[in-house]
Amino acid sequence: MDKKKIVFSGIQPTGNTHLGNYLGAIRNWAARQAEKTNYFCVVDLHSLTVPQDPENLRFQTRSMAAILLACGIDPQQSTLFIQSHVAAHTEGCWLLNCVTPLGWLQRMTQFKDKSARQESVLTGLLDYPVLMAGDILFYDADEVPVGEDQKQHVELTRDIAQRFNALYNVEFFVVPQPIIPPVGARVMGLDDPAVKMSKSLADKRGHAVRLLDPPDEILYAFKRAVTDSGREIRFSDDPEKAGVNNLLGIYQAVTGKGQAEVEADFAAARGYGDLKVGVAEAVIETLRPIQARYHDLMADTAELDRLLAHGAAQARVISQPKVDEMKRMMGLVLPR
């Protein structure tokens, strides 16, 4: 039997997880987690590259983990943990720093873009990709699902792995592949169907449906969704119908129905108002069990922390020996 591929996914606890994140990625992670060996890491250390309110960061870190669990990530099938709970990540990052040329980090597009907008640039922003490389390399990950904006970071991870292997004349690190996942469902902003639903805009009322929004807020957002001046409810290639297409696409994604079935469901609709309410109700019902599970987890943080401690223990079993072997190879004296 072929060995399962190892996959590492890091998720920042930034809040505002929305319907697009769920339909486009998280739902697929949960549905297909048995196919590969998965590590899901809430990368709280990466969040420190910009100033954070400590209490909010603690809350958002637990919240992100609870959302993943509520969406179906199964601790019996996948390893879910908080990055700062596994010391190998920070310890190993220093070792990788010592084989990574500064010029490689200074050429990173995200660093150049973000540092250009800041008066004072934190060292962590420059070093972010090396910590990310360790996240991946310490688990021998074969694949790293990323968006286009993170692909360069995985390419740097490949460069660091190959440089370490060459310096020490070993095949120590697996050289991972960036995987641009197929779009599970492309969800556009309700206020602008030409723009993807975005975390950075999710606080703008009416733009996004966040996974934890109450039913009345979800209904509000859909009722104000941008459509057009027509009345016909069907899928169309007409750019003017982008808003209607977005609503129908969301309904199709949450119900699992085909295009013909979706159109049939709204054949008797009196107009876009009925469409908006129908899509809102379908989304509310889809999110209801997720929200219930989330609130149960957040109401019992002892159990949530127990699950995360279990995941961290599993992660340490893999990552710490990898880092210890790195130290030995680099000439450090290991404690007895």
Conformational region of residue 42, where left means phi above 0, alpha means psi within -120 to 50, and beta covers everything else = beta
d(Cα 134, Cα 290) in Å, to the nearest integer? 32
Residue 179's beta-bridge partner residues? 145
Give the H or E element holding residue 82. strand 79-82
4 belongs to the catalytic site: no
CA 209 to CA 18: how far, in whole Å? 6
196 has catalytic annotation? yes
Nearest Cα residue to 222 out of 286, 291, 270, 283: 283
Residues 11, 144: contact at Cβ < 8 Å? no
Catalytic annotation present for 241: no
Among the listed residues 5, 36, 151, 199, the single catalytic one is 199
CA 9 – CA 145 distance, rounded (Å):
6
The tokens describing 47, both together, are 């969040």
In this structure, what are the phi and psi dihedrals at residue 194, rounded to the nearest 5 degrees? Answer: -95, -5
What DSSP letter does each residue of 244-275 carry, written as one string? HHHHHHHHHHHH---HHHHHHHTTT--SHHHH
Selecting among 36, 114, 151, 322, the annotated active-site residue is 114
SS3 state at 187? coil
Distance of CA 198 to the CA centre of its chain: 12
Cα–Cα distance for residue pair 284/239, rounded to 1 Å: 27
Question: Nearest Cα to 40, choosing from 12, 14, 5?
Answer: 12
If DSSP codes are grouped into helix, strand and coil, which group holds residue 40? strand
Q: How far apart are CA 108 and CA 231, in angstroms?
A: 48
Q: Which of 5, 36, 151, 196 does the annotation list as catalytic?
A: 196
DSSP secondary structure code for residue 50 in this structure = S
Q: Pairing between strand 79-82 and 37-42?
A: parallel
Instruction: Give the catalytic positions in this structure.
Output: 114, 196, 199
